Amino acid sequence: MRISAPRLRRPRKSAIARARRSATPWRKLIHRMWLVTFVDFCYGWLLWVYLTWLPSYLKESRGFDLKHLALFTALPLLAGVIGDTLGSVISDRIYRLTGRLRFARVSILVVGMGGSLAFLLPMVNAPSPIAAVWFLTASFFFLEITNPVLWTLPLDIAGKYAGTAGGMMNTGFGIAGMTSPVVFGYLIQTTGSYNVPFTISAGLRAVGAFAALFIDTSKTVEADEARELGNRGERGVPVFAGGAER
């Protein structure tokens, strides 16, 4: 039997209409997304350091001239592009092999943050400028494998509210962007060295990896809503009598 185009469009239109009628469950979103937002802050802190201070570090602390600066600044960023792609591919592969969504997401976050930490710490005292570049490159590669996984978590956890949840998560990244370059520069000016701000940035990798262990994709906003509706039904409260959270 052939189904006409208007009939195919009806389910989509009804879903859009339901979404327009429902209020955004802000409390549930904050409850489920605050930890993801914090991990995104930890990720964003080091990313903004790379984007704002890497050329200065290589020139002032490692002595690269302008002729080599462009190449050695680009290497870590190129590794990050590769990490962005591999992070998503590996996470999806783990999920297909194990069927464990939380493991597929959290394992990449922990390995990414931990790997970035493992290469950033020895970079601080690397014996040569070239060694420092390779440590920075490896650290940024591992940092970036977490990026695509972070962006899947709003969909995993918030479902139909993924757009709002994604904006909430990206707030952590934005706060990191406002504070990280300023704090990094202040510490350089105060201590006269890049070692202290890089060490603090490495410490945030450890904090982010630890926090990621507690992210649970099985605890979703939609499950919270269904549980709330079920509880109201058991108490005999009509769904239309305050069924949506405001």
What b/e string do you get for 56-94 counting C-beta neighbours within 10 Å, with b at 16 or more? Answer: ebbbebbebeeeebeebbeebeebbeebbebbbebbeeb
Q: Count of CB atoms within 10 A of residue 242's CB?
A: 10
Domain ranges of the chain: 25-229
Q: How far apart are CA 221 and CA 112, in angstroms?
A: 26
Q: Which are the contacts of 46, defined by CB distance < 8 A and separation ≥ 6? A: 116, 120, 139, 140, 143, 180, 201, 204, 205
Tell me, what's the pLDDT at 18?
A: 54
* Class of CATH domain 25-229: mainly alpha
Tell me, what's the pLDDT at 233?
A: 63
Q: How far apart are CA 169 and CA 35, in angstroms?
A: 9
Q: Which are the contacts of 98, defined by CB distance < 8 A and separation ≥ 6? A: 104
Tell me, what's the pLDDT at 13?
A: 56
Please state whether the predicted TM-score (pTM) of the whole model is above 0.75.
Answer: yes
Q: How far apart are CA 38 and CA 88, in angstroms?
A: 20
Provide the residue-wise pLDDT of the chain in tens; the chain has 246 residues.
Answer: 455 555 545 555 554 555 556 688 999 999 999 999 999 999 999 999 999 999 999 999 999 987 888 889 999 999 999 999 999 999 999 999 999 999 999 999 999 999 999 999 999 999 999 999 999 999 999 999 999 999 999 999 999 999 999 999 999 999 999 999 999 999 999 999 999 999 999 999 999 999 999 999 999 998 888 887 777 666 655 554 444 443
